[in-house]
Structure 1
Amino acid sequence: MKFFTSDTHFFHKELLKDKDFAPRDFDNIEDMHAAIIKNWNDRVTDRDTVYHLGDVALNFVRPEKRANEQIFRLLNSLNGHIVLIKGNHDARSLFKYLQANNYLLNGQSKFQFHDVGTIIKMNHRQLIMSHYPIMLGIVKQVINLHGHIHHYSVNIKENINVGVDTPEKDYLDYAIPFGAPFSESDIEQIINGKKIDFQKRK
């Protein structure tokens, strides 16, 4: 099964409480990590693939190699194969470190990498996955899954924010736990919910 997420911002202490534009209600970074790991692993198995659409972590530990080692250990605690699309806060050195330490999980690489984005087909739709929102224009059966804008939503029905703090989770008919990646059925529900929402606005 495929899952989708973005903007986990592991190690980013400045996002805790009300210190930044996308506050997270945790007392410390360890609690935030524990919540994301638990909620991720409760949904994802090692047979699944998670598309992470950027901004994996902001770890200001130095030297940089130590920071990358810490991020690597954390990512190893997450179930599934992880397809990483580079976000504006993802250092190229992190991707190089992960690639150098990549390994096989059930016969496939634990990590895959894309600098800009990737495209898959799912449920008769083309999903264009990128970190930044893409303005697609008039399209049919094409959806842009993205992150980057945290608790904002693009005012276009074809753009779906899949970040951990996206407001578009409100299109779901249940409360998704913080940090849990969106499943294929979640994405369908969000797409349809946003489409209906826009039809009502006409």
Structure 2
Amino acid sequence: MQFVTADTHFFHSELLGVDKFAPRPFPDVATMNQTIIDNWNAKVGKHDIVYHLGDIALYFTKPPRKAYEAVADVLGQLHGRLVLVKGNHDSRALFKYLAAHNFMVDGHPKYEFHDVGVLLKYNHRQYYLTHYPMMLGIAPQIINLHGHIHHYAVPVKENINVGIDAPELDYLNPRPAFGAPVNFDEIEQMIVAKAADLEKQR
């Protein structure tokens, strides 16, 4: 099965609390990290593919290699093969470290890397998977799955925020557990529900 997610922000201590840009009510990053890992692994199988659309982690320490090791340790605990699209908080140095320490899952590398995005065809639709939301204009069969804006939504039906803080997750019943990626059946539900919601607001 294929899944999509974004904006896990592992180790990002500045998001902890309730009065933040992307509030996460955890007592510490260890609890936040483990919650995401547990909820991810409860949904994603070891043989699945997850498209992660950027902002994997935000962690600085010296030497920087220690931060990359810590992030790699977390990613190594996540089920599935990871297709990583670079976000604004993802450094090339981190991607180089992960590439140098890649390992095989089901005969495929654990990590695949993309600087800008991925074009994916699934169930008669085309999806542009990017970190930043894209304005595609009138393109009925093209959907932009993105992250970056956390608890905000682009008021366009073709743009679906798939980040773990995304308001579009409220279109699913029940809303996925915090940190659990969404599959393409759920994405289809989000597309239909968002379009209907925006139509009501016209």
SS of aligned partner of 1:31: helix
Counterpart residue number, 1:110: 110
Cα shift readout 1:113-161 (whole Å, capped 9, x = no counterpart): 0000011011110000000000000112100000000000001000000
Counterpart residue number, 1:69: 69
Q: What aligned pairs does 1:25-36 form with structure 2 within 5 A after superposition?
A: 25-36=25-36
Counterpart residue number, 1:97: 97
Contact residue 145 and residue 160 of structure 2 kept, 8 A: yes
Are 2:31 and 1:8 aligned? no
SS of aligned partner of 1:74: helix
CA distance in 2, matches of 1:198, 1:125: 20
Q: Which amino acid aligns with 2:141?
A: Q
Counterpart residue number, 2:151: 151
Q: Which amino acid aligns with 1:126?
A: Q
How far 1:199 sits from its partner (Å)?
2.1
Kindly tell me: are residues 94 and 19 of structure 1, through their superposed partners in 2, closer, same or farther at Cα, counting changes over 3 Å?
Answer: farther
TM-score, scaled to structure 2: 0.98
User: Which 4+ stretches in 1 moved above 4 angstroms?
Assistant: none
How far 1:196 sits from its partner (Å)?
1.1
Contact residue 155 and residue 198 of structure 2 kept, 8 A: no
Cα shift readout 1:172-191 (whole Å, capped 9, x = no counterpart): 12121000001111101101
Cα shift readout 1:88-112 (whole Å, capped 9, x = no counterpart): 0001000000000111101111000
Q: Which amino acid aligns with 2:115?
A: D
CA distance in 2, matches of 1:85, 1:158: 19
Please report the RMSD computed on the Cα atoms of aligned residues, expressed in angstroms: 0.8
How far 1:44 sits from its partner (Å)?
0.6
SS of aligned partner of 1:51: strand
Counterpart residue number, 1:46: 46
CA distance in 1, matches of 2:190, 2:175: 13
SS of aligned partner of 1:76: helix
Q: Which amino acid aligns with 1:93?
A: A
How far 1:201 sits from its partner (Å)?
2.5
SS of aligned partner of 1:87: coil
Q: Which amino acid aligns with 2:18?
A: D
Q: Which amino acid aligns with 1:164?
A: I
Q: What aligned pairs does 1:71-90 form with structure 2 within 5 A after superposition?
A: 71-90=71-90
How far 1:20 sits from its partner (Å)?
2.5
What percentage of aligned pairs have identical amino acids?
54
CA distance in 1, matches of 2:88, 2:31: 25
Counterpart residue number, 2:120: 120
SS of aligned partner of 1:188: helix
CA distance in 1, matches of 2:163, 2:175: 15
Unaligned runs of 5+ in 1: none
Q: Which amino acid aligns with 2:34?
A: A
Unaligned runs of 5+ in 2: none
How far 1:19 sits from its partner (Å)?
5.0
Are 2:9 and 1:21 aligned? no
Counterpart residue number, 2:142: 142
Are 2:190 and 1:190 aligned? yes
How far 1:197 sits from its partner (Å)?
1.1
Q: How many correspondences in the alignment? A: 202
TM-score, scaled to structure 1: 0.98
